[in-house]
Structure formats: structure tokens, C-alpha cells
Chains A and B, each alone.
Chain A
Amino acid sequence: MRIRVDPEKCQGHARCIGVAPELFEVDDYGLSSVTIDPVPEALEGKARLAVANCPEYAVEVVEDVGGSG
């Protein structure tokens, strides 16, 4: 599974790092980015949670091969 943050959509809500701190970092201005690519299998649930909590639809699944969902 691979995810990304669309920098054009991200508004710095920091919801992704809140639910999945293992997968994201946020800069001083709020812009999030993914720190682990591809997402380790054990963290796929958290990655999906980050997607489902982003109010801006900025966190996207770009590849989901044989994932659990």
C-alpha cells in the first residue's frame, strides 16, 4: 500500500499525524507529508484511518495491492 499527501489540498489540520504519527510528519506551516513508503502492512489500518479523517481529502491511497481493506 502506498499513500501520499496532496500539498495543494493539505490545509494543515494535522489530523493524519494525530491518528497515524508513525506515517506522517508536519512542517512548521502545517503541511503534512508521508514518511514511510510503502506503508508497512502492520500500519495499513492507520493509513486508512488517516485517509478517513482528512477534512480536505488531501491524504490519498495511490496504490493498494492486496490490502486488507
Chain B
Amino acid sequence: MTTEQVDDWASDFDVLDPSYVENPFPIWADLRQRCPIAHTERRAPTWMPTRYEDVTAMAHDVEHFSSQRVAVIPLQVNEGNEAAGQVGEDGPSLEYGLPPISADPPLHTWTRRLLLPWFSHRKVAEYTPFTRELCQRLLDGFDGADEVDAAVDYAQQIPVRVIAHILGVPLEMADTFTGWVREVLEFADDIERREHGILSIVEFLSSEMQRRREDPGEDLLSVLLQSEVDGAPLDDAVVLGMAVLLLIAGIDTTWSAIGSSIWHLATHPEDRDRLVREPELMTLAVEELLRAYSPVTMARMVTQDLEYKGCPMRLEDKLLMNFPAANRDPEFFEDPDTVHLDRENNRHVAFGSGIHRCAGSNLARMELRVALEEWLARYAKFGLVEGATVKWAGGQVRGPRVLRVRLG
């Protein structure tokens, strides 16, 4: 499907429009002033709040704005088929979606509780040495090079291996996973590609589950298969949905955050130099980069006809939860379009807000921090390759996909 040019962003927006993908910031600024909850009929009737106040209020109102079916991953595989995502006639199914992200309470509550300890503040510290060594190894590979693609050769390589390590699936398959996940998330208008991506992931994880049932290990997938809730083992479709979510959710998103942050430092040498000079700023700097370049726009579904601030919303209308736009709302953040590495007032919602706060936020934050620390320790004077085009992916996950940088 080709995208028709957008003339009015308030009434006919399209997050896949090339101008939005490239530079959404002026579009958000215009919408916040003129029509803070934009609307479109493209693909499906959809509303898009752009102010911090509205985005966070809607994220907290899980009664009227459900997470079912409309998480970041479109699941309309085999549309019309009740067991969406079923592989073959008797194959594995995703009939519960991808809990907890695509679930409301009570399914959301207990599936999330099973996952949270794996991504707790304490547990993530255990994954840090693995991540640091991984970054160092990737940087070792750049020895002798004058320039590299920081998106493809660095950012993209990190989160996929960390989550494979946690799930206990082969690290050698990292590039294959990345390919599948991009098919699912970055080609919303190419149904065949999206289906191929999701079905490949489902098939792969189903066979991994089978393998662990026969020979369990201590990895997350094995533990989920042995878990019980209220005295009963988990339904296979729930475990599969959770596993698919874990593989998908942490890859494109974190890679985008790392890539955007490197892009920022490559194009703002004063910030790059300051971070090298004042490494103690890293904690606040990481949050500020997450605020300014939040990768993820989530979705919700309206559960009944209602009016929100004058917008007539209908049952099953979609909502695009524009957390990135909320994080640049001038009503809420001073000088929002400028990165201030030492910003102190920073209640950003890059990881969402309310009960669906990103379950992997501790992990993502650690990966971003370690990726930047290791990069800056090696290359303090890097910048964009002159004349090279930076290519961005956008829509619901925004970040650079081609980012040529010179290393010295």
C-alpha cells in the first residue's frame, strides 16, 4: 500500500507518512496547539493524543481504554479466524494475544507478575556484565575501521543478544530474530511480511518450548513452562504469547533508543564532550535521551462509545498513545525540544505510565547506559559521516536504521 500524502494532520494523520517518520516533532507541536487529540480514518478509526496530560490520563483509564488486541504488535494474522496467529490447522495459537502487554486485568495482572522478577532492578544488574562484554566485543570488531554504521553494526546487535541470553535461545540466531521482529513492527502496511515475521517467531518459540518440556533448564522459558497459577500449569498459548512478546518487545525498541542517542551525540558534539568529561551525568543523561527520543508509541482500544474532551470516540476505535509527543509537551517540560543532559525535572513517560509501564524498562535503561558508556570510552570524538543520509524507521517504533558515523 502506498501512503497518500497528509494534508491535514488533525483530521487525517498517518504515522507512516515519510515526513512524520523523518521529523515528527513540528507535527506534534502543531497538533498540541491546534488539535491535541488528532483523528484519522486511515486503516482504522484512530485517535492520537499528543499532550502529556491526555496521554497519561488515558494510560491510567484502563476501563475505557483497553490494551486487548491493539498492542504495538498487530495480531490480525489469519483475520477472521478465532485463534489468531494459529500455525497450520492444529498448530500453536496466540489466542490470548501477547500477555501482559495485550491484556487487561486479570490476565494482565498475573502474567505480569510472573515476568517482573526477571526484569527487576536487582536482576538486571546480573545481566550487566554480559551486556558490557557484548558491547566491548562489538567495538573490538571496529578496530582499524574509520567509519561504521552505528545503527546496524552496534545498536541493532545489542538488545537481541541480551534477550536471547535471558530466554535461553541461541545467540547465533540473533540476526534471524532481528529480521523477524522488523517484519512484524516496521512494515505495518505489508501484511504478508508481517505475517511471515509473526509466524516465524511463533514456530521457532513453539519448538523451543517443546525442547524445554523434555529437557528443562534455568532460563525464563523453562521456568514459565514449569510455573503454576492457582495450582494449575499455564496454558501453552499463554506461555507462547509471553515468549513472543519478550522476543519482540525488547529488540526494536531498545535498539532504537541506543541508535537515537548515538545520533544525538554524533550531531551535538558539545553534549558528546560533556558526557565524556562528566561521566557522573550519565544517570540523568540517559533519562533525558529517553525523554527526547522516546521510541515507542503504544496503542489502546476504546471499550464503549464515549466523549473525551469533545472527541466522540466509538467502541473499538483505536488510540495511538503518543508517549514520545507527551515527552516533548512544552506545558510539561521546559524547553522540551532541547536536550539538557542534566535535566532535573523529568517525569518522562518513555516507558509508558500506569499498569502497563514497560516491564523491561530496567533492562532497556541498563542496555542504553552500558552501550553509551562503552562507546564513549572507545570513541570520544565521533560524528556523522559527512554527506551520508541517516535513515529513520517510524510509525510506532522510531529510531535510526542507517547511521553512518566516523569514529575519530
> Residues of A at under 8 Å CB distance from B?
11-15, 17-19, 26-30, 49, 52-57
Contacts and interface: CB of A to CB of B under 8 A. Distances in A.
A51 to B, nearest CB: 9
A12 B358 CA distance: 9
- Which 3 pairs of residues, A with B, have the shortest CB-CB distance? A28-B117, A11-B357, A26-B121
Contact of B365 (A12, A18, A26, A49): A18
Interface residues of B, number: 25
Contacts of B113: 29
A14 B347 contact: no
B357 A52 contact: no
A15 B349 CA distance: 11
Interface string B344-380: 1111110101110100011001000000000000000
Contacts of B345: 52-53
A30 B120 CA distance: 6
24 contacts: A11-B353, A11-B354, A11-B357, A12-B357, A12-B361, A13-B357, A17-B121, A18-B283, A18-B287, A18-B365, A19-B283, A28-B120, A28-B122, A29-B116, A30-B120, A52-B346, A54-B347, A55-B56, A55-B347, A55-B348, A55-B349, A55-B353, A56-B353, A56-B354
A64 to B, nearest CB: 17
Interface string B206-248: 0000000000000000000000000000000000000000000
B346 A13 contact: no
B174 to A, nearest CB: 27
Contacts of B346: 52-53
Contacts of A13: 351, 357, 361
A54 B347 CA distance: 5
Nearest to B112: A29
Nearest to A29: B116
A61 to B, nearest CB: 14
Nearest to B361: A13
Nearest to B115: A29
Nearest to A57: B347
Contacts of B117: 28-29
B356 to A, nearest CB: 9
A15 B337 CA distance: 22
B348 A52 contact: no
A27 B119 CA distance: 11
Contacts of B353: 11, 55-56
Contacts of A52: 344-347
B372 to A, nearest CB: 15
A14 B364 CA distance: 12
A9 to B, nearest CB: 10
Contacts of B123: 28
B122 A14 contact: no
Contacts of B390: none
Contacts of B348: 55
Given A29-B117, A49-B344, A55-B347, A14 B287 contact: no
B284 interface: yes
Nearest to B284: A19
A56 B60 CA distance: 10
Contacts of B362: 14
A57 B348 CA distance: 11
